[in-house]
A and B are shown apart, each in its own frame.
Chain A
Amino acid sequence: MSAAAEVHASDGHDDHGGDHHELGFWQKYIFSTDHKTIGIQYGITALLFLAFGFYLMMVMRWSIAYPHEPLPGWMSWFLSDEWKSRWLQDGKVTGETYNMFGAMHGTIMVFLGIVPLGFAAFGNFVTPLQIGAIDMAFPKLNMVSYWLYFLGGLVMCGSFFVESGAAKSGWTNYSPLAGFADSQIVNQLLAGQTQWLLGMVFLISSSLLGAVNFLTTIINLRARGLTWMRLPFFVWAMLVTGFLLLLAFPPLEVAAIMQLMDRTTGSSFFMPSGLYSKTAGLLEASGSGSPLLYQHLFWFLGHPEVYVLLLPAIACVAEIIPTNTRKPLWGYKSMVYGVIVLGFLSFIVWAHHMYLTGMGPVVSNFFQTTTVLISIPSVILLTSMLISLWGGSIRFNLPMLWAAAFIPMFGIGGLTGLPLAFNLVDLHLHDTYYVIGHFHYVVAPGVLFGLFAGIYHWYPKITGRHMNTFLGHLHFWPSLIFMNLLFFPMLVQGMAGFHRRWYNGGDAYLMEKAEGANIFGNTVAEWLWLNPVMSWAAWLLAASQIPFFINFWSSIWFGKKIKNDNPWDATTLEWATPTPPPHGNFTFDVNVYRGPYEYSREDHEGDFYPQWEEPKRDEPADEPAEKPVS
């Protein structure tokens, strides 16, 4: 007897079971427990946060390019006069404001934008469909995850309006700086720096619940016949991402709790003895704390977090490439093992962010070695996808454009990371724009391109309509150009010695010192001209998202209708559902007969052979038949 049948038979036992009545608006769209609705909620919220994070960055780029000029009206008209008079000096962005925007840009982009978009939105929408499940294992928990995330986001963004402003100590929130920033605020719950920690606790709890839910779903709710090696690579990537979140986030939670204690109860976990600040004098605390401990706890999360950002994007691209090259994914197995090894290694590379803290050469050497090692699985993933293109008859539709651009863009991001792995080189490059350029290549044209590919790819499944091709091109090409114009010069400036925290782009530095008087010769002055170039690229990059915005909303009603439920002729299970998938997803009893990427098989007519299609009787089985799981 099949599992599904068994479960259906048990329906009678439970009075809360099947939904016999129509759900109201609130239950259907707001407090929904349906994984698809939650996925969409995550996606839209995350896109809004991405836009907000982008805005913060545009203001920062203004301060870098034109540090002595007032912020122009088009970036500030919606801010209240009172807010402006507090945070801008004669309309100019102050160092304090720059720091606040910088810290929040990083936090919002990473924790409120990309992770929720990649892992939570795509993971939620696609994973259960791809494994042939009717929903997540714990639908209510899923809803709680989303609302905790939402709450965390509100707390974070609300902190822009308290007297102290939002957190200003960098997205890494290093103690002791973050430990006593805003300590002048009597009611610490109203201090931005404390609210950052509270928001973080919400976000971490949300991620943990989400991770538990994803992992359980993938382990226990796979359809009959969907064995581990028949899982689409997307699901594998989500599985590994789930483990990273599950195990890497708690130490950050520890760090956040300890810092919260430092701030609210006056403890000294991260506050060394004899700490003195210009404004507060000798710090009145017991001291003897360890700032290094904070960094260890933070980066224990921080590095796996990079892969939490990255894997969902790779996952999307790995689905799109076979679909549009009409070829199996090259090296599927090595990719799977690669991603598992990557997951393991990502837990033991964290201290390469800390070469400059004086941990000692032995520790540095260890982390240098592991860091170089982790490039091996990364290269396996990237190369497999590159080789997958070889000899394919590639359909350059919108998702494929983004997926194809992902490969070289992420390649630049990855390769520029190699010099940073070596601690001698890192001594020079640490905290320069080179580092900024490197990780933005990974997350912006890398991860975001992958996620855009995903949006264009699954949009027809979500809405039943394609996104407009012209607007799609209008989105893609300018984005590609301006991304590179924005981030490539960072690598150049970084090597020339531009420090990442110069709020006025090196201008104040040059005003202080005569030209050419810095330790790098006069390289800073030489590359100053790139500042406005990059800033304009950033603003134009923002403008090139407008076609996407229009496309995203208008195609819901005006897009070209899809020809059938499987518009891309894909093989994985999400395309076997009606469009859009109803509550409960599948209208038939799901059985999986083969691997995920059966394209252009010579023994099968048509160039794709979906996972769910029953083999014809005379056809030889290509693998020893799996025992049906039941």
Chain B
Amino acid sequence: MEIPYTFTARKDTGLFNSKIGIWLFLASEVMLFGGLFSGYVFLRVYADYPWPERALPVLPGLINTFVLIGSSVTVVFAWASLKMRQWRRFQFFMGITIACAVVFMILKGMEYNAKWHHQAVRMDDFTILEGHTHKATLDEHGHLHGIHHGDEVPGGAFPQNVVVVETEEINLTLVRAHDPYVEDILEKAMARGATPVLKDDAFFYGAPKDMRFGATAKDIEPAERAEGEEKLRKAHSSGNHTAVKFGKKSLFIPKGTPLTTKLLDQAEEVFLDARSNNGRVRTDALRREWKRVRSEFPDEKRDYKLAKEIKITPELLTGRVAEAPSALTFAFKEPVALHFKRSVIREGDGTSRLKDDTILKGKVASSPLGLSVDAVDLRWVAQRAEEQGKDPDAVIAKLWIMENPGFKEIWERHSAQLASLEEHLTEKYGLDEHGNPKRVPTENDRYRIDWQDLVAFHRAHEKHLDADSPEVEDLRPGMMEGITGPDHKNPEFQHAFFSIEVPNEKVAFESLFTPKWNHYYAIYFTITGLHGLHVVGGALVLSYFLFFSKGLYRSNPEWLANRVEIGGLFWHFVDLVWIFLFPILYLM
């Protein structure tokens, strides 16, 4: 059985099936990227923070644009070669097309990689710092030590972007505790020679086997409980962990037992069993109670009135309510300094909470965020000042970062340069009819010091140039000196950038340059990521034509040509998307 028009065109539509298919598919792709582009416009128009304009390195994007355009041309040549039945030429051009795709993805990967290693911090006064975090270690007293460039980095060092808690106790919720977190805590504690041990005896009274029939509520009277606990203790000391009397899954964990994930799993299992049992017992009781209330008030139909009569008393329970703690507390002998990534912990006064609801008791130690700063952005400070009707320069003068002598000097150089720029613009473009300069520096010029500025300032300083000297502009590093952004390994740049330690309470929000940082980067990664997936998918299909289609070429070259045409149409679409992406993300 053969589907018609798989490779010959139908006369009245003039198309073969897959050509219709690909055009329809591209229509839906247009809607997909159209949705994303509309999202971009919507987010940019309604952004309540200064949108990062021209924040990406242009060069890789520019190269990629030409690479993709070139590949769109070669894919057409490849198709034409097939039409002319020239297999070698087809191989040649298709090979170039795929090589272009590879180059594109490599450049993209480099760009992404640079972003993923670049840290940003928003301080509580809306100053934004960008740079690379220092490495850090904890010493034997649990104090945080940053390691600056040039120092040797010992093993076990971590980015200096953590919260250190002098942990006394850890409270783990059984159903929530996330094993990797627990293992991480254990590992760090072991490294410091400490072990968390269970703070109090824990009794899990499991679910009795004969719940539905035999036992009643009085089974949990204090006298019997004491007896039961004794039995559980004995069972434990004899090595038999599952005591029989209190049901199939009773458990006793004595005080002082060290924390392990296996122990938590055991406790969780018994806890869940107890919870199931209790649900069953209480549901039965509630059913009976409703029966009673309904027969007592046959005329009352409104449930919300009847509900007030409902009470589950111990007498109603025909089964034993099992008891099991839902969380266990483990304690250290002495407070142990543990460090956590900022994103998993919510630090508080005396108690901090991990994402899995683990509660750490202990005070938060001083753990400033250490950064080698390559850019300072005060646009948001200025925007907020203007929104509040204040003078931005006055607000900036009072910022915390101005207390840093290194930055203060940089800011003075920047201000001098800005003044000379203003003068220069007025000179060049003149004044309008109101006597105001026709051209003024942009917000970027005014309030943002980027890494090229820092390097230029440093070079000017080395050459003993004045800050407002026009030559400073020429000292800015060119495109080739940082293809994907500031290079922190370059010793010259290391001197140009300045180090800073931001105290914990000053950090309002921090992130690497990932989608989390702001929705400019979010949409950048989303669109380019989806586009990258399209490039990879397209390249795979084209590679299939190149490497695995010789057989089809021999038996039915026209069919292969049609397939390449379809692939080529898709490839052109991918190219077209990039043509839109490049300006809106890199240039605007």
Distance between Cα atoms of A163 and B175 in the complex (Å): 8
Q: Does A563 contact B (CB under 8 A)?
A: no
Inter-chain contact A187/B43, CB cutoff 8 Å: no
**Closest residue on chain B to residue A297 by CB atoms:** B35
Q: Does A213 contact B (CB under 8 A)?
A: yes
Inter-chain contact A85/B21, CB cutoff 8 Å: no
Distance between Cα atoms of A300 and B279 in the complex (Å): 44
Inter-chain contact A6/B13, CB cutoff 8 Å: no
**A528 and B302 in contact, given A13-B556, A267-B522 (Cβ under 8 angstroms):** yes
Distance between Cα atoms of A469 and B85 in the complex (Å): 63
Inter-chain contact A254/B32, CB cutoff 8 Å: yes
Of A279-287, A361-369, A407-415, the one contacting chain B is: A279-287
Q: Does B2 contact A (CB under 8 A)?
A: yes
Distance between Cα atoms of A186 and B525 in the complex (Å): 22
What are the residues of chain B within 8 A of A290 when measuring CB–CB?
A: 42-43, 46
What are the residues of chain B within 8 A of A273 when measuring CB–CB?
A: 48
What are the residues of chain A within 8 A of B49 when measuring CB–CB?
A: 288
Inter-chain contact B286/A81, CB cutoff 8 Å: no
What are the residues of chain A within 8 A of B273 when measuring CB–CB?
A: 82
What are the residues of chain A within 8 A of B398 when measuring CB–CB?
A: none
Q: Give, as a whole number of angstroms, the nearest-CB distance from B560 to chain A.
A: 12
**Closest residue on chain A to residue B555 by CB atoms:** A13
Q: Does A511 contact B (CB under 8 A)?
A: yes
Inter-chain contact B31/A247, CB cutoff 8 Å: yes
Q: Does A18 contact B (CB under 8 A)?
A: yes
Q: Does A22 contact B (CB under 8 A)?
A: no
Distance between Cα atoms of A14 and B306 in the complex (Å): 76
Interface-centre pick from A4, A15, A284 (highest chain B CB count, 10 A): A284
Q: Give, as a whole number of angstroms, the nearest-CB distance from A328 to chain B.
A: 26
Inter-chain contact B304/A507, CB cutoff 8 Å: yes
Inter-chain contact A584/B1, CB cutoff 8 Å: yes
Cross-interface CB contact of A216 among B8, B20, B29, B514, cutoff 8 Å: B20
Which residues 367-422 of A sit at the B interface, judged by CB distance below 8 A? Answer: none
Q: Does A589 contact B (CB under 8 A)?
A: no
Inter-chain contact B346/A134, CB cutoff 8 Å: no
Inter-chain contact A81/B277, CB cutoff 8 Å: yes
Inter-chain contact B28/A293, CB cutoff 8 Å: no
Q: Does A139 contact B (CB under 8 A)?
A: yes
Mask: chain A, 62-89; 1 = CB below 8 Å from B; 0 = not: 0000111110000000001110111010
Which residues 256-287 of A sit at the B interface, judged by CB distance below 8 A? Answer: 257-258, 261, 265-269, 273, 281, 284-287
Inter-chain contact A14/B2, CB cutoff 8 Å: yes
Distance between Cα atoms of A68 and B302 in the complex (Å): 11
Q: Give, as a whole number of angstroms, the nearest-CB distance from A188 to chain B.
A: 11
Mask: chain A, 233-252; 1 = CB below 8 Å from B; 0 = not: 00000000000001111110
**A257 and B530 in contact, given A82-B272, A90-B282 (Cβ under 8 angstroms):** yes
Q: Give, as a whole number of angstroms, the nearest-CB distance from A47 to chain B.
A: 28
Cross-interface CB contact of B516 among A15, A70, A265, A630, cutoff 8 Å: A265
Distance between Cα atoms of A212 and B566 in the complex (Å): 14
Mask: chain A, 1-24; 1 = CB below 8 Å from B; 0 = not: 001101110110111011100000
What are the residues of chain A within 8 A of B272 when measuring CB–CB?
A: 82, 85
Inter-chain contact B47/A88, CB cutoff 8 Å: no
Mask: chain B, 4-36; 1 = CB below 8 Å from A; 0 = not: 110010111101111011001101110110111
Inter-chain contact A250/B277, CB cutoff 8 Å: no
Which residues 573-590 of A sit at the B interface, judged by CB distance below 8 A? Answer: 583-584
Q: Give, as a whole number of angstroms, the nearest-CB distance from B37 to chain A.
A: 10
Inter-chain contact A268/B518, CB cutoff 8 Å: yes
What are the residues of chain A within 8 A of B518 when measuring CB–CB?
A: 268, 286, 288
Distance between Cα atoms of A584 and B1 in the complex (Å): 7
Query: Interface residues of B: mostly helix, strand, loop or mixed?
Result: helix
Q: Does A344 contact B (CB under 8 A)?
A: no
Mask: chain A, 292-305; 1 = CB below 8 Å from B; 0 = not: 01001100100000
Which residues 350-394 of B sit at the A interface, judged by CB distance below 8 A? Answer: 355-357
Cross-interface CB contact of A84 among B21, B176, B276, B355, cutoff 8 Å: B276
**A7 and B287 in contact, given A91-B279, A288-B49 (Cβ under 8 angstroms):** no
Q: Give, as a whole number of angstroms, the nearest-CB distance from A416 to chain B.
A: 28
Q: Does B87 contact A (CB under 8 A)?
A: no
Mask: chain B, 26-70; 1 = CB below 8 Å from A; 0 = not: 011101101110010011001111000000000000000000000
Inter-chain contact B1/A17, CB cutoff 8 Å: yes
Cross-interface CB contact of B509 among A70, A254, A286, A293, cutoff 8 Å: A286
What are the residues of chain B within 8 A of A208 when measuring CB–CB?
A: 25, 28
What are the residues of chain A within 8 A of B286 when measuring CB–CB?
A: 69-70, 90-92
Cross-interface CB contact of B1 among A253, A508, A528, A583, cutoff 8 Å: A583
What are the residues of chain B within 8 A of A58 when measuring CB–CB?
A: none
Q: Does B403 contact A (CB under 8 A)?
A: no
Q: Does A536 contact B (CB under 8 A)?
A: no
Q: Does B303 contact A (CB under 8 A)?
A: yes
**Closest residue on chain A to residue B526 by CB atoms:** A261
Q: Does A215 contact B (CB under 8 A)?
A: yes
Inter-chain contact B4/A4, CB cutoff 8 Å: yes
Interface-centre pick from B3, B555, B556 (highest chain A CB count, 10 A): B3
Distance between Cα atoms of A219 and B175 in the complex (Å): 55
Inter-chain contact B35/A3, CB cutoff 8 Å: no
**Closest residue on chain A to residue B41 by CB atoms:** A293
**A220 and B516 in contact, given A163-B175, A281-B346 (Cβ under 8 angstroms):** no
Q: Does B301 contact A (CB under 8 A)?
A: yes
**Closest residue on chain B to residue A300 by CB atoms:** B35
Cross-interface CB contact of B181 among A82, A91, A92, A186, cutoff 8 Å: A186
**Closest residue on chain A to residue B556 by CB atoms:** A13
Q: Does B263 contact A (CB under 8 A)?
A: no
Inter-chain contact A220/B13, CB cutoff 8 Å: yes
Q: Does A184 contact B (CB under 8 A)?
A: yes
Q: Give, as a whole number of angstroms, the nearest-CB distance from B185 to chain A.
A: 14
What are the residues of chain B within 8 A of A137 when measuring CB–CB?
A: 3, 5, 17, 20-21
Inter-chain contact A293/B283, CB cutoff 8 Å: no
What are the residues of chain A within 8 A of B13 when measuring CB–CB?
A: 219-220
Distance between Cα atoms of A216 and B517 in the complex (Å): 43
Q: Does A510 contact B (CB under 8 A)?
A: yes
Cross-interface CB contact of A253 among B32, B46, B519, cutoff 8 Å: B32
What are the residues of chain A within 8 A of B287 when measuring CB–CB?
A: 69-70, 91
**Closest residue on chain B to residue A214 by CB atoms:** B24
**Closest residue on chain B to residue A65 by CB atoms:** B303
Which residues 163-200 of A sit at the B interface, judged by CB distance below 8 A? Answer: 163, 184, 186-187
Cross-interface CB contact of B275 among A18, A67, A85, cutoff 8 Å: A85
Distance between Cα atoms of A8 and B355 in the complex (Å): 65
Distance between Cα atoms of A286 and B2 in the complex (Å): 56
Q: Does B480 contact A (CB under 8 A)?
A: no
Distance between Cα atoms of A265 and B275 in the complex (Å): 34
Q: Does B343 contact A (CB under 8 A)?
A: yes
Inter-chain contact A293/B42, CB cutoff 8 Å: yes
Interface-centre pick from A14, A136, A248 (highest chain B CB count, 10 A): A14
Q: Does A138 contact B (CB under 8 A)?
A: yes
Q: Give, as a whole number of angstroms, the nearest-CB distance from B487 to chain A.
A: 26
Inter-chain contact B516/A285, CB cutoff 8 Å: yes
Inter-chain contact A186/B178, CB cutoff 8 Å: yes
Distance between Cα atoms of A80 and B356 in the complex (Å): 25
Distance between Cα atoms of A212 and B27 in the complex (Å): 10
Q: Does B312 contact A (CB under 8 A)?
A: yes
Inter-chain contact A184/B355, CB cutoff 8 Å: yes
**Closest residue on chain A to residue B175 by CB atoms:** A163
Q: Does B278 contact A (CB under 8 A)?
A: yes
Interface-centre pick from A186, A213, A300 (highest chain B CB count, 10 A): A186
A-B CB contact pairs (8 Å), 27 listed = A17-B2, A67-B304, A70-B287, A84-B280, A85-B278, A86-B275, A88-B279, A88-B283, A184-B357, A212-B28, A216-B17, A221-B17, A246-B24, A247-B27, A247-B31, A249-B31, A253-B35, A266-B514, A266-B515, A267-B515, A267-B516, A267-B521, A288-B43, A288-B518, A293-B43, A300-B35, A507-B307
With A221-B5, A511-B307 given, can you name 17 additional A-B contacts, CB distance below 8 Å?
Answer: A8-B2, A10-B2, A10-B8, A67-B303, A69-B303, A91-B282, A138-B17, A186-B355, A246-B28, A250-B34, A251-B34, A265-B514, A267-B521, A269-B523, A286-B511, A289-B43, A507-B307
